[in-house]
Amino acid sequence: MDQLKILVVDDESRMRKLVRDFLVKSNYDVVEAENGEQAVDIFFSTKDIALIILDVMMPKLDGWGVCKEIRAYSKVPIIMLTAKSEESDELMGFGLGVDDYVAKPFSPKVLVAKVEAILRRTNGQSDETIEIGGITLDNTAHEIRIDGTPVDLSLKEFELLSYFIKNKGIALSREKILNNVWNYDYFGDARTIDTHVKKLRSKMGQKGDYIKTIWGMGYKFEIDSEK
C-alpha cells in the first residue's frame, strides 16, 4: 500500500522535525512548508495530499488564511495547531472547516493518533447509501443530499450526521458521541460536539430539527413523522 502523504506546515523548523519524525515512524510520507504561502503552493501542485497539519501563527499567510484558500477547493482533512487554547480560536477553526484542533504544547503520539483516526475514517468509508426523511447519505461519494440538493459538510459534520442517522431513535450521550465520532481519547469538552451540532443543524435547514437535544445528556436523531 502506498504511503499516505501529509503536509506539515509550521514556521518553526524544530516543530516540523518533531512532527515529521513521529509521522515517518508511523509510515507516512511527509511534505513540509515553512509558511502559509508555501503551503498553498505545495498543496495545489502536489495534488495527492491526504491530510494537512497546519499551524495558526505563521508569516506571509497565517493558518486561517491557508485554511480558507484550501477549503474553497478541497475537503482534505485539516488539523490545526495553535499556541492558544481560547474558545474563540476553536470556534473559528471549526467555522472554517477544520477537522480537529490541537493546542501547543501537545503529545506527538496523541497527534499521530488523531491523524490515524481521521485517515482511517476518510479512507475506510462504507459503500452504503442511506436514505431517510428526505436525507440521502452516500458514503462512497462522501456526499449528503437533502430533498435532492447537495449540502456541503465538513468531514466531521458528515461523520457526525452519519453516526446520528445510523443510531436513529437512540439517545446518545456527549461522551458516547466523542468516543465514536472522534474515535480517540479526546482531551476536550462538550463544546466541540455542541459547536458541530449547531453548524450541522444550520446547514440542514428544516431537517436540522431531526437532531433533538436531550438536556443534560446529549442528542437523539428522530424524524417526527416516525414517532
Q: What is the pLDDT tens value at each position of the chain, 227 positions in all?
A: 467 899 999 999 999 999 999 999 988 999 999 999 999 999 999 878 999 999 988 888 999 999 999 988 888 899 988 876 555 666 666 677 788 888 888 888 888 988 888 887 766 554 467 888 899 988 767 789 999 899 999 888 998 999 899 888 889 988 888 877 875 545 556 678 888 999 999 999 999 999 999 988 899 999 875 43
Phi, psi at residue 199, to the nearest 5°? -65, -40
Give the closest residue to 123 by CA, choosing from 98, 153, 155. 155
For residue 105, cis peptide bond before it (omega within 30 degrees of 0): yes
What is the C-alpha to C-alpha distance for residues 102 and 55, in angstroms, rounded to an integer? Answer: 9
The domains located in the chain, with CATH, are 5-123 (3.40.50.2300), 129-226 (1.10.10.10)
Tally of helices (H runs) and strands (E runs) in the chain: 8, 12
Give the closest residue to 168 by CA, choosing from 99, 124, 225. 225
Q: Specify the pLDDT at position 29.
A: 93
Q: What is the chain's alpha carbon radius of gyration, rounded to the nearest angstrom? A: 18
Pairing outcome for strands 172-173 and 218-221: antiparallel
Give the closest residue to 89 by CA, choosing from 55, 113, 43. 55
Task: Supply 172's cell numbers.
Answer: 446518545
Task: Supply 115's cell numbers.
Answer: 491523524
The pTM is what?
0.59
What is the C-alpha to C-alpha distance for residues 143 and 158, in angstroms, rounded to an integer? Answer: 8
